[in-house]
């Protein structure tokens, strides 16, 4: 038996705890399963022996090294090769070439090709290793890269649960599933086609990928310049020396095609704010979640001066977010984009309805999670949540006894009886009571609420404060989602006519109506989305993008495995 050399391996150094560490499935390995493979003559036997030796080292928690490479999917590599009698599977040079192309192609998805051992595999491919030891090393690098690439395309690289404990859509690694995908891919006519099938098929993901390519081209061409600080540009005909810079900036990013035609009613028209330029500014504002007033004030100027490289990173961040959930979408669902302040309803995969929403202010963040909507309540009462009662209502009542009457609030004891507010010692005895707002025009929940039971006590509801929907940034609630057009949604979900909905509301009686079928509800956070051929950028209202980008750019974490007993 040839001498075993200090061993290899692949995969990344520890990254921050937010990348997805493949969870090790508990496995029972029988002692008989690690008996030596019977000796056979020839190089294939020697390669198998080297693979077996590497696998045993992995299972003994000893890192196989090749430069800085480390293996991420130790447990699954061991299971896969043991079930394959330690025989190599990467035997066709054409498939290795396809694998290299597939690794390079993930850059178009916003992933990093170096996460998949690109340099090491490229080196092996070009130099054609001729020793069993190097061939075994090459083999394991390829399989680990395939496992990792498959998982990242299906579920994302970053672990959203480590960024937000409320997330409840994560998928654990299925070793059998990864092994099956690899076997099918290698047995098929095209490895590249098999890998392409792993990518999300949702049109929103594909369009955002196209947006990433466009913005990368803009960056490669030099991006856009900045528009200098100065007073707000708002009046048609207003003179400002920054107009040429503004015009050039909007031409590069596509809000206007050509601005050679300017207002000629002024001798210095090139420095004047024209109707055409104002329309371009409004288009830019629409694309960036800003108030569409056509004024170049501080917020619009700030968005104009975000470098194109930052927009590229913003798209990468949101492609990753799509991978977290998009393949879990069912044909019919509701999706709330917290960062976009909107809600959309899809029925059998087709857009059916959309509306503006108001979400939680940064101190009362709306959580990100999935739940099942089960019923609708018309003319609901509002029981003031404990957090709002403690932090806002009680301090206000202690300062101003008229607070309760102004807000139409009742004081209710533990038995559900309405009591006189004057009988309550608000300084020390308030914990025995709760506040309730009965149905009516002043009720904070409006005329209807949509319930999807969850630990956060979050739901969708109407609101009497309709004026806030005119704002471009709508983070005003305590965490629940306020709907601009809730009665339209009730019609759709219940299959009722508008007249029936209005009659139910007008009756004033609290009614619970179960949905015919439970409806998946996704509360998500997306700061870049594709609409047609355009990318819409949203304000990072909860400052969540930076953590995703850091994890996305960090090495995939190395995960040790349990030692086997021989």
Higher-pLDDT residue of 21 and 420 is 420
- For residues 496-520, give the mean pLDDT: 97
CA dist 321 and 456 (Å) reads: 21
Higher-pLDDT residue of 106 and 556 is: 106
Shared domain for 291 and 255, answered yes or no, is yes
Q: What angle do CA 337, 492, 291 make, to 5 degrees?
A: 35
Residues 374 and 386 placed together within one structural domain of the fold: no
Strand partners, 153: none
- The per-residue pLDDT for 29 is 39
Domain ranges, residue 266: 243-306
Contact 298, 304 (CB under 8 A): no
Residues 429 and 471 in one domain: no
Mean pLDDT across the stretch 149-178?
83
Picking from 52-66, 119-133, 166-180, 510-524, which range would have the lowest pLDDT averaged per residue? 52-66
Task: Please indicate, yes or no, whether residues 274 and 410 belong to a single structural domain of this protein.
Answer: no
> For residue 466, is pLDDT > 70?
yes
Task: Specify if 212 maps to a domain.
Answer: no
pLDDT score at 287: 96
pLDDT at 560 over 70: no
Question: 3-state class of 253 per DSSP?
Answer: helix
123: tokens are 């080196």
Least confident of 244-258, 308-322, 425-439, 479-493: 425-439
User: Residue 415 — φ and ψ, nearest 5°?
Assistant: -95, 5
pLDDT at 30: 38
Asked if residue 359 is part of any domain, the answer here is yes
Residue pair 482/464 in contact (Cβ under 8 Å)? The answer is: no
Percent of the chain with pLDDT over 90: 64
| Contact in structure between 330 and 516 (CB atoms under 8 Å) | no
Question: Of 416, 438, 460, which one is at a domain's C-terminal end?
Answer: 438
User: Are 147 and 249 within one domain?
Assistant: no
Q: Do residues 208 and 530 lie in contact, with contact meaning Cβ atoms separated by under 8 Å?
A: yes
Alpha helix (H) residue ranges in 84-156: 93-105, 118-127, 132-155
By mean pLDDT, which of 245-259, 376-390, 454-468, 495-509 is the weakest? Answer: 245-259
Give a yes or no: residue 116 inside a domain: yes
Is 77 within a domain? yes
Indicate whether 343 pLDDT > 90.
yes
In a shared domain, residues 83 and 134: yes
- 25 has a pLDDT exceeding 70: no
382-391 pLDDT, tens digit each: 998 888 888 8
- Give the other-Cβ count within 10 Å of 265's Cβ: 9
| pLDDT for residue 8 | 34
Contacts of 367 (CB under 8 A, 6+ apart): 164, 166, 456, 458, 479, 523
- pLDDT category of residue 9 using cuts at 50, 70 and 90: very low
- pLDDT at residue 32 above 60? no
pLDDT, position 36: 40
Q: What is d(CA 339, CA 342) in angstroms, rounded to the nearest whole number?
A: 8
In a domain, 21, yes or no: no
Q: pLDDT value at position 172?
A: 63
Q: Are 161 and 123 members of one domain?
A: yes
Confidence of residue 516 (pLDDT cuts 50, 70, 90): very high
The SS3 of residue 299 is helix
- Given 204, 233, 257, the domain boundary residue is 204
Query: Cα(351)–Cα(254) distance, rounded to whole angstroms?
Result: 26
474 exposure class (CB count in 10 Å sphere: 0-12, 13-18, 19+): buried
Q: Lowest-pLDDT range, 68-82, 237-251, 260-274?
A: 260-274
Q: Answer with the residue of higher pLDDT: 339 or 56.
A: 339
Residue 294 domain flag: yes
The lowest-confidence range among 32-46, 49-63, 274-288, 475-489 is 32-46
Q: How far apart are CA 153 and CA 106, in angstroms?
A: 8
Between 50-54, 120-124, 165-169, 416-420, the lowest mean confidence (pLDDT) is in 165-169
Distance CA 176, CA 487 (A): 47
Q: Residue 173: is its pLDDT beyond 70?
A: no
Comparing 67 with 191, the larger pLDDT belongs to 191
What mean pLDDT value characterizes the chain?
A: 86
Residues 70, 155: contact at Cβ < 8 Å? no
Sheet of strand 382-383, all strands in order from the earlier edge strand to the far edge: 382-383, 434-437, 410-412, 418-419
The pLDDT score that the predictor gives to residue 407 is 87
**Least trusted range by pLDDT, from 80-84, 257-261, 368-372, 470-474:** 257-261
Query: pLDDT value at position 28?
Result: 39
pLDDT tens string 84-110: 999 999 999 999 999 999 999 999 999
CATH of the domain at 343: 2.40.440.10
| CATH code of the domain in which 279 resides | 1.10.101
Burial class (CB in 10 A: 0-12, 13-18, 19+), 103: buried
Same domain, 179 and 35: yes
Q: Are residues 463 and 401 in the same domain?
A: no
What letter does residue 6 receive in the DSSP assignment? S
The 3-state DSSP class for residue 340 equals coil
Tell me: do 458 and 409 sit in the same domain.
Answer: no
Q: What pLDDT, on the 0 to 100 scale, is given for residue 7? A: 32
| Whether the Cβ atoms of residue 408 and residue 443 lie closer than 8 Å to each other | yes
Say yes or no: 188 and 337 in one domain. no
Q: Which of 176, 204, 232 is the last residue of a domain?
A: 204
| Residue 556, domain member (yes or no) | no
One domain, residues 191 and 160: yes
Among 248, 32, 217, 259, which Cα is nearest to 108's? 217
Q: Tell me, yes or no, whether 429 lies in a domain.
A: yes
Q: Looking at the 3D structure of the chain, how many domains does it have?
A: 4
pLDDT at 180: 86
Lowest mean pLDDT among 56-70, 91-105, 483-497: 56-70
Residue 118 has pLDDT above 70, yes or no: yes
In the predicted structure, residue 494 carries a pLDDT above the cut 70? yes
Q: Decide: helix, strand or coil at residue 71.
A: coil
Which residues pair with residue 436 across a beta bridge?
A: 383, 410
CA atoms within 13 A on the CB side of 550: 11
Contact 563, 61 (CB under 8 A): yes
């Amino acid at each position: 038996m040839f001498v075993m050399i200090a061993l290899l391996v692949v995969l990344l150094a520890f990254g921050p705890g937010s990348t997805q560490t493949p969870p090790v499935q508990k496995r029972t390995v029988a002692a008989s399963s690690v008996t030596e493979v019977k000796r056979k003559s020839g190089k294939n036997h020697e390669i198998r022996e080297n693979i077996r030796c590497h696998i045993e080292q992995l299972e003994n928690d000893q890192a196989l090294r090749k430069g800085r490479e480390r293996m991420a999917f130790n447990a699954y590599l061991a299971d896969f090769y043991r079930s394959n009698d330690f025989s190599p599977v990467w035997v066709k040079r054409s498939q290795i070439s396809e694998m290299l192309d597939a690794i390079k192609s993930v850059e178009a998805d916003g992933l990093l090709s170096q996460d998949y051992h690109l340099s090491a595999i490229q080196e092996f491919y070009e130099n054609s290793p001729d020793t069993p030891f190097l061939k075994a090393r090459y083999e394991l690098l390829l399989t680990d890269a395939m496992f990792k690439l498959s998982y990242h395309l299906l579920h994302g690289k970053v672990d959203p649960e480590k960024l937000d404990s409320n997330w409840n859509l994560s998928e654990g690694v299925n070793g059998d599933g990864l092994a099956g995908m690899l076997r099918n891919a290698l047995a098929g006519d095209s490895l590249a086609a098999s890998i392409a099938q792993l990518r999300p098929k949702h049109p929103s993901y594909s369009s955002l990928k196209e947006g990433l390519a466009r913005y990368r081209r803009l960056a490669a061409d030099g991006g856009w310049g900045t528009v200098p600080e100065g007073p707000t540009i708002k009046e048609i005909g207003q003179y400002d020396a920054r107009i040429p810079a503004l015009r050039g900036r909007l031409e590069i990013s596509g809000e206007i095609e050509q601005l050679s035609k300017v207002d000629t009613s002024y001798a210095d028209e090139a420095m004047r704010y024209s109707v055409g330029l104002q329309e371009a500014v409004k288009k830019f504002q629409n694309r960036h979640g800003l108030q569409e007033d056509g004024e170049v004030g501080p917020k619009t100027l700030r968005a104009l001066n975000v470098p194109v490289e930052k927009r590229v990173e913003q798209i990468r961040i949101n492609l990753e977010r799509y991978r977290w959930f998009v393949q879990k979408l069912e044909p019919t669902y509701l999706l709330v984009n917290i960062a976009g302040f909107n809600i959309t309803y899809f029925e059998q995969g087709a857009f059916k309805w959309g509306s503006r929403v108001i979400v939680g202010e940064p101190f009362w963040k709306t959580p990100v999670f999935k739940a099942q909507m089960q019923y609708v309540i018309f003319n609901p009462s509002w029981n003031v949540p404990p957090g709002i009662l403690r932090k806002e209502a009680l301090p206000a009542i202690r300062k101003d006894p008229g607070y309760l009457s102004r807000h139409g609030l009742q004081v209710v004891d533990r038995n559900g009886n309405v009591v006189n507010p004057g009988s309550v010692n608000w300084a020390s005895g308030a914990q025995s009571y709760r506040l309730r707002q009965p149905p009516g025009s002043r009720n904070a929940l409006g005329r209807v609420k949509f319930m999807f039971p969850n630990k956060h006590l979050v739901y969708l509801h109407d609101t009497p404060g309709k004026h806030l929907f005119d704002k471009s940034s709508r983070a005003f609630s305590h965490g629940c989602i306020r709907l601009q057009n809730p009665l339209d949604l009730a019609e759709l979900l219940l299959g009722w006519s508008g007249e029936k909905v209005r009659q139910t509301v007008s009756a004033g009686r609290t009614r619970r109506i179960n949905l015919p079928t439970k409806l998946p509800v996704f509360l998500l956070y997306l700061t870049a989305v594709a609409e047609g051929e355009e990318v819409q950028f949203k304000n990072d209202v909860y400052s969540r993008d930076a953590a995703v980008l850091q994890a996305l750019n960090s090495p995939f974490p190395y995960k040790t495995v349990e030692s086997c007993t021989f």
